[in-house]
Amino acid sequence: MKSRLAILAAACLFTLGARGELAIPRDRPYVLPDGSVYIVGDNTLAPLLARWNELFARSHPGIRFTIRLANPPAGIDGIIARVSIFAPVAHDAWESEIDPFKRLNGFRPLDIRVARIGYAGAGRDNPPSIYVNAANPFARLDIEEVGRIFTAGRMPSDLRHWRQLGVGGEWGKHSIHAYGTRDNGETLTALRLARFGGQPFARHYEALETDADVLEAVAGDRYGIGLAWTLDAASVPANVKRLPLSQGGAAFAGEYEDVRAGRYPLSPFAHFYLPVADGRSLDPVAREYLRTVLSPEGQRAIEAEKAGRPGLVPLTRDEAAREIARIE
């Protein structure tokens, strides 16, 4: 179903609407010769774009969009090339994507969060998670502890030995062996910047090629701990366990209601990146579209797609309100 929607979105013009006072400035680079507005994005969001277009059309019948979607990790190339009104993507933009935009424009694109991506459950892909060997005595970790294990310079100190987490006996004698994928400006770099305050990975962090390699390392290392991006829950080795995470309180496993309530601290977002500096006036068509996306109706449209993969989850009411405030 998703692929069919992506093909339709790429091949067709979506007829969308505008209030009477909303007009498209024909001199904008994202306006095509036929008068439609061009959007280049990630086909992970194809079902949502179709639903949001339908909502937008109810009050904006005079605006048409031409949409070109690509397989993830489709990035922000459309706004880098200045041909797309915004860039809808299903991941935190990588620094390797942001840097070309910054070099051309002198600022970072405006980042508006519109949904969350992924939740744990039977037959699903796990969201970004912490994995340990099945012999590990811990049943949970706090995200602050995770940050101190995997990155350097967080207060009150880095965590390099299991005894620093309060475990004694044989475990207390051993160093923590931290595994993850490479800090190459892509997925794990984006997670480090977004969730761990931009601190560098610790010196004892061992960077591997893939998430599967991370789980294999943890499976063979009683004293290992791994940070992995999204992966099929069925691919987790039998002697590896996934830890629930907390943010100073109860711990949550990242199931749908955990993510829906904003309680899972490694839950990633879907974004609209816009070619404007934070605090500057938005293009009126882009602002009106984002109002639709962040409205209660726009967020309810996300719930209708939760059964798909990777699984889309609405923002909390407070999160949506904060993002609306940033576009006004």
Mean pLDDT, the chain, integer = 90
Cα separation values, 131 from 73, 122, 252, Å: 24, 17, 14
Q: Of all residues in the chain, what percent carry a pLDDT higher than 90?
A: 74
Going by C-alpha positions, the residue among 31, 155, 20 that lies closest to residue 83 is: 31
For the chain, the first-to-last Cα distance in angstroms comes to: 35
What's the whole-model pTM score? 0.88
Is the pLDDT reported for residue 8 higher than 70? no
Cα separation values, 314 from 78, 117, 280, 296, Å: 25, 9, 26, 10
Instruction: Output the six-digit token pair for 29.
Output: 């680079």
Is the CB of residue 5 less than 8 Å from the CB of residue 47?
yes
129-133 and 224-228: which strand pairing? antiparallel
Catalogue all structural domains in the chain, each as residue range(s) with its CATH number: 2-118+268-327 (3.40.190.10), 125-260 (3.40.190.10)
pLDDT band per the 50, 70, 90 thresholds, residue 21: low
pLDDT band per the 50, 70, 90 thresholds, residue 62: confident
pLDDT band per the 50, 70, 90 thresholds, residue 149: very high
Going by C-alpha positions, the residue among 174, 154, 155, 178 that lies closest to residue 163 is: 174
Which amino acid makes up residue 76?
I
Residues 167-211: tens digit of each pLDDT: 989 999 999 999 999 999 888 998 999 999 899 999 999 999 999
Q: Where does the chain have alpha helices with state H?
A: 2-11, 46-59, 77-80, 95-105, 143-150, 187-195, 211-219, 256-260, 284-294, 296-303, 317-327
pLDDT band per the 50, 70, 90 thresholds, residue 4: very low
Mean local confidence (pLDDT), 36-61: 91
Residues 246-292: tens digit of each pLDDT: 998 999 999 999 999 999 999 999 999 999 998 888 999 999 999 99
